[in-house]
Structure 1
Amino acid sequence: MKELKAFLKSKDVSKSEIFKALKISYDEGLILQYLCQLFFGSIPNISILNLLQGLFKDKEEFSYLDHLKDIRHLMELGLVKTGYSMLQDQNKESLFSLLHMDISLSEYFLQFLENKKPLDLSINVAYENHLEYLKDEFERIKLYTRLSFNPQNLDFKKDIQAYEAHIKKRLAKSKFYNVLAEIFKENKLSKKEQIIFIALLKEEYSLKNEESSSRELNSLLALVSENELEKLKNRALLDENSKLIEKNLIDYDEFSNHFYLSESILQRIVNFKRLDKDKQLRLENALKDQEIFELIEPNTDINDVIMPAKTKELLENILKQQDKKVLERLSLWGIKNSKEVEAKIIFYGPAGTGKTMSALSMAKSMKKVVLSFDCSKILSKWVGESEQNVRKIFDTYKEIAQNCKQSPILLLNEADQFLSTRVESGASADKMHNQMQNIFLEQIEKFSGVIIATTNFLESLDSAFSRRFEYKIEFKKPNFKERFLIWQKALPKNAEFSEDFKLDDLAQYELSGAQIFMVVKNTALKVAVSKDGIFSMQDFRESIEKELSSSFDKSKIVGF
């Protein structure tokens, strides 16, 4: 407060500490001082014409026009605000267009004027909850705001480094659910993107006017830029193709030229609900009461699966339903209104070719869990019970979905006989089977979300089911190139191999992906108990021959 009073009363503005900290020109200092005197004298804004005429009235006629460039520079620094659009090219805009605009001190500058207390780093205990943590993050944004006035100030930079280390230490001791960290991790946000995100979140929590200058492009860029050149480079962080905009984390209002957190992401932060003990218990009970479902948390995404390029492209196109532009187009065309991915898919092909793994990986890419069941368990020896089980599948699915953040993917594993062609006969077993399929067809028709059925034989698929599944994707046994990549992925990374070991030779064997992983596992168990612990080609050959001889799919062995 002492420095502020000195700045307000100073007859030579250049001698005040505030002026020295800002590193601006003398005339720019006079403009800021005059605006401060008006502000603290209950006049929050004034037209630029009146300001310049009043401040530089003793000079020659119209000389005040020379000071329009000072106004523009103060705007670029984020120290003052006007009705001027911060997204326009300031170098192309006429200076004279500023004359009849109102000007006022920016919120950034007002924060800067507040007497800064020394950082309190004495509290070194765990955060009790995410709100306590957010307070520290918002304090961190204030430090970046202060730095934006003087980006080269080493003391300011040290304060930020110390405070960020302080937050990191407290987080390491904390056990609360950190929804902010989860959002950053999901979207792979850089440090600069995180700062912009938190700055906008701070505006939401501070309940300030939605027209706050802190939401403007220049203000946000000032937080993550040390100079004007960096500001130009960092504009990419907030353009229409940026990660923050593309992933629907923030929105841009063209009318006000302000940025806001998207409503969906704000609701996720403000109203998040972590799966508590009661909810977890209900989920476990829902699974315990039936014998069909298995809840799976996927740990690989679509990029972890080795598959033909065309197959991967098709799966990626399905995943692109999550893309903001795709959703907007589909909604505009009246195709869909839900933001959830909707797809009914059949994966077909020989066993071990990656059908289930691909289903799990799609779920991971969509940030969903998988609700899987073995179709063979549905067919009961008791007449009528199978129809009940079909209804139970979808009723239980809905119950479990209520305990998940997003609707799970429904996985029908080994659906061969379940989706097979209906039989026209008078036998009671056939009638039951047909009735069960009719009920299932009805449920599939009404199903909203993602359902994936895996089968070894597409030829036996009932045509009624075929019509209800939009995607039928074939999984073939891997070719040599794909087998080579699978071997690379499956082999232990820290193991020692014999001199005669050749990956090309292993890839010659016509094995499925599942068989390759099984061979590696069996070979590793054998080598682990050996004297030298070295993987040899002979070890692999023996495991491969054993796997092929025991396989129902009698794949031929290709010689070297």
Structure 2
Amino acid sequence: MIQNIKVFLQNPKKSKIYDILNINDDELQILKKLLEEYIEGNEDIKVRNILTELFSEDKIKALEYIGYIKKLLEEGWIVISSFSQIKNNDLSILEIFNSSVSLSVAFLKLIEQGSLDLVIPEKTPYNDHLEYLHDQFLRIEIYEQLSNIKSNYSKESASIKRLQSKLKLIENTIKEKIKKTKVELPVQNFIKEYELNEKEEILFLALLKEEYTSSNENAREQNYLLNLISDDEIERIKNRALLDDNSKLISEEIFEYDELFGAFGGYTKIYFLNEDILNELIHPKKKHKIEHIVRESIFDFIEPKKGLDEVILPSKTKEMINTLLKQIDKRVLKLLKEWGIKEGSDIEAKIIFYGPPGTGKTLTAHSIAKELDKPLLSLDSSKILSMYVGESEKNVRRLFDEYYSICEKLKTKPILLLNEADQFLSSRTTAAFSSADKMHNQMQNIFLEQLEKFDGLLIATTNLLETIDSAFSRRFEYKILFEKPTFKERKKLWKLKLPKSAQYEEGFDINKLSSFELTGAQIEVIIKNTAYKVAMRKKPVFKTEDFIEEIKKEKGSAFDSEKELGFIKV
């Protein structure tokens, strides 16, 4: 290290770094002079003093050599001290002449190391997603470094070239390592799934890096992000389209943003990654952990895919659900705790969804879990009871014991969904004539006892509210009716669920189909059955009569299942 400095001071042309510097002999003498001063403890030197000492005592003539200083600034080997916040390109010749300069960090590192050797990760497979993120964040750091210096330096400067070379090597290394990797890489899968282009990928990784490190308070600002992917002002203007409301990143809800007004007028946008996406990427093993814990229990773990706004429900039902969500909102619960109305701040509610099969009760429960970002544990009550004949009382206790055990392991309270809960909730027999009646009553008493002290969010679905024991009914704070769809709602369901890419006969009558009183589940079954029949034809064209035939079969059958619940917008 010391030897490199000695050689440069004695004869710069024999130095290891001479070819790297890309400068002429006069410019080399300026660097030598600045290094000598630096060693003497003089970090900042007036440009006019350097030029008059090395080239001409006449200041006017010395001014003619200002181009050497500009070249060294563009190459990144020196920096202006007195105008550190001003771009080099914005300074006039006289401003540079009367300013002070010092050796850049890049030059000092180069003179110490004697080369531009780059530290690049080895091309071995990734062991986990954190190793992958480490390399990607290193890549983003180089983009940030380029963003900081490219406005001051020439594109051909050694500093720019050095960073570009390092960037290219790292990007190639990441690609090679991904090819060899067999473990799951959630972030890479996400980029591929959403088909992000190179610039969208950089913006996405830059925000993800900030979520992990919180190292730069400006990293979320629109201008900062645009500078990462833009070489000049024109390109920056063009790239604004990548962050507007019609862009993929915003329209597909990958990014969210707030608008902040500045102290001197105008506003800027501050971007964030969607919270659900962020949780999935930062905690990729969370889902697998839940599945592992629930696997040996009596519950099914449900991962909801759709929110409430994507579930088709009558407006009155949808309004009641929205009101319910507002009442169990975390902000509301916090206030209730502060006022002494409620002891804890956890979400607590016992809810009954009742109504005919196929009207969306189960899917709505799923969507509530999605809205609240809660795991969902589902239990088909009728199946469990029929499976454990003679042990109903024991298994009701097991139901709640396992639920609380899972809560403890997950450190959170999942939503508990009891599907087809009629067996639990139906009126108890006042005169128990048989041992079966006694067992059933005993099971219900235990369930009532457990329900009384339950402190999570429980949703029970049933077909008939009238059959529910009044003691159970009083324990549920919310009772929400799910009615069969009206003509208007049935028409909407038909339009949403009919295949979009299929061919239909001329005069296809969707109003006629909507006139039949069907639930949403029945409409979906009818469409599926009709599609199979039409697909077998040589000319697969859907006719109104095809659906009517299936409707008659459906209406004439005893099928009335609630397995297909609710409907998703396409």
Per the normalisation by structure 2, the TM-score is 0.62
* Matched residue SS, 1:215: coil
Is 2:488 the counterpart of 1:490?
no
Distance in 2 (alpha carbons) for counterparts of 1:327 and 1:169: 50
CA deviation digits over 1:438-492, x for unaligned, max 9?
2212222333433211111122323332333232221111122321222223222
Alignment of 1:245-324 (within 5 A): 269=282, 275=288, 283-284=294-295, 286-287=296-297, 293-316=299-322, 318-319=324-325
* Matched residue SS, 1:444: helix
Distance in 1 (alpha carbons) for counterparts of 2:437 and 2:149: 81
CA deviation digits over 1:286-323, x for unaligned, max 9?
14xx5xx4443434332331112343344345556897
Is 2:187 the counterpart of 1:136?
no
Is 2:354 the counterpart of 1:348?
yes
Is 2:534 the counterpart of 1:533?
no
Alignment of 1:73-222 (within 5 A): 117=116, 126-150=125-149, 167=174, 170-171=177-178, 174-178=181-185, 192=203, 194-199=205-210, 201-202=212-213, 214-217=215-218
Distance in 2 (alpha carbons) for counterparts of 1:112 and 1:467: 78
Residue pair 1:21, 1:150 contacting (<8 A) in 2 also: no
Specify which of 447, 450, 457 is matched with residue 443 of structure 1.
450
1:529 positional shift: 2.4
Distance in 2 (alpha carbons) for counterparts of 1:436 and 1:112: 81
**Which letter does structure 2 place at the counterpart of 1:433?**
H
For residues 519 and 19 of structure 1, do their structure 2 counterparts lie closer, same or farther at Cα, with a shift above 3 Å needed? same
CA deviation digits over 1:358-395, x for unaligned, max 9?
22233344445533222224546999621111011122
The range that moved more, 151-160 or 482-491, is 151-160
1:520 positional shift: 0.7
Specify which of 61, 71, 74 is matched with residue 20 of structure 1.
74
Query: What is the RMSD of the two structures over their aligned residues, measured on CA atoms?
Result: 5.0
1:335 positional shift: 6.0
Equivalent in the alignment of 2:467: 460
Is 2:427 the counterpart of 1:421?
yes
**Which letter does structure 1 place at the counterpart of 2:132?**
Y
Is 2:376 the counterpart of 1:370?
yes
Distance in 2 (alpha carbons) for counterparts of 1:451 and 1:111: 62
1:527 positional shift: 1.7
For residues 351 and 462 of structure 1, do their structure 2 counterparts lie closer, same or farther at Cα, with a shift above 3 Å needed? same
Distance in 2 (alpha carbons) for counterparts of 1:349 and 1:180: 42
Specify which of 411, 419, 428 is matched with residue 417 of structure 2.
411
Distance in 2 (alpha carbons) for counterparts of 1:483 and 1:18: 74
Distance in 1 (alpha carbons) for counterparts of 2:74 and 2:258: 31
Distance in 2 (alpha carbons) for counterparts of 1:341 and 1:546: 45
Distance in 2 (alpha carbons) for counterparts of 1:522 and 1:381: 32
Distance in 1 (alpha carbons) for counterparts of 2:306 and 2:470: 33
CA deviation digits over 1:488-544, x for unaligned, max 9?
232223322222322232222221000000101111122222332222111101001
CA deviation digits over 1:141-197, x for unaligned, max 9?
3213212323557668967688567646644654445466799999x9996465144
Uncovered stretches (5+) of structure 2, i.e. residues with no partner: 6-16, 22-29, 39-44, 51-65, 91-101, 245-255, 262-268, 561-570
**Which letter does structure 2 place at the counterpart of 1:215?**
N
**Which letter does structure 2 place at the counterpart of 1:449?**
G
Distance in 2 (alpha carbons) for counterparts of 1:412 and 1:546: 31
Larger RCO (CA within 8 A; separation ≥ 6): 2
**Which letter does structure 2 place at the counterpart of 1:305?**
V
Specify which of 372, 375, 388 is matched with residue 394 of structure 2.
388
Distance in 1 (alpha carbons) for counterparts of 2:326 and 2:270: 17
Report sequence identity in percent.
41
Distance in 2 (alpha carbons) for counterparts of 1:336 and 1:246: 31
Specify which of 495, 511, 533 is matched with residue 518 of structure 2.
511
* Matched residue SS, 1:145: helix
1:353 positional shift: 0.6
For residues 399 and 382 of structure 1, do their structure 2 counterparts lie closer, same or farther at Cα, with a shift above 3 Å needed? closer
* Matched residue SS, 1:224: helix
* Matched residue SS, 1:306: coil
Distance in 2 (alpha carbons) for counterparts of 1:270 and 1:117: 37
Greater Rg by CA: 2
**Which letter does structure 2 place at the counterpart of 1:358?**
T
Distance in 1 (alpha carbons) for counterparts of 2:525 and 2:429: 38
**Which letter does structure 2 place at the counterpart of 1:479?**
T
**Which letter does structure 2 place at the counterpart of 1:19?**
L
Distance in 1 (alpha carbons) for counterparts of 2:276 and 2:538: 57
Residue pair 2:76, 2:106 contacting (<8 A) in 1 also: no
CA deviation digits over 1:28-60, x for unaligned, max 9?
8133xxxxxxxxxxxxxxxxxxxxxxxxxxxxx
For residues 300 and 218 of structure 1, do their structure 2 counterparts lie closer, same or farther at Cα, with a shift above 3 Å needed? closer
CA deviation digits over 1:323-355, x for unaligned, max 9?
775565455445668776443221111111111
* Matched residue SS, 1:350: coil
Residue pair 1:283, 1:403 contacting (<8 A) in 2 also: no
Distance in 1 (alpha carbons) for counterparts of 2:480 and 2:311: 15
**Which letter does structure 2 place at the counterpart of 1:459?**
E
Equivalent in the alignment of 1:524: 531
For residues 425 and 322 of structure 1, do their structure 2 counterparts lie closer, same or farther at Cα, with a shift above 3 Å needed? closer
Distance in 1 (alpha carbons) for counterparts of 2:390 and 2:190: 47
For residues 307 and 274 of structure 1, do their structure 2 counterparts lie closer, same or farther at Cα, with a shift above 3 Å needed? closer
Residue pair 2:424, 2:447 contacting (<8 A) in 1 also: no
Per the normalisation by structure 1, the TM-score is 0.63
Uncovered stretches (5+) of structure 1, i.e. residues with no partner: 32-69, 78-104, 204-213, 251-264, 554-560
The range that moved more, 487-496 or 396-405, is 396-405
For residues 121 and 489 of structure 1, do their structure 2 counterparts lie closer, same or farther at Cα, with a shift above 3 Å needed? farther
- How many residues are matched? 447
Is 2:71 the counterpart of 1:29?
no
Residue pair 1:322, 1:340 contacting (<8 A) in 2 also: no
1:400 positional shift: 4.8
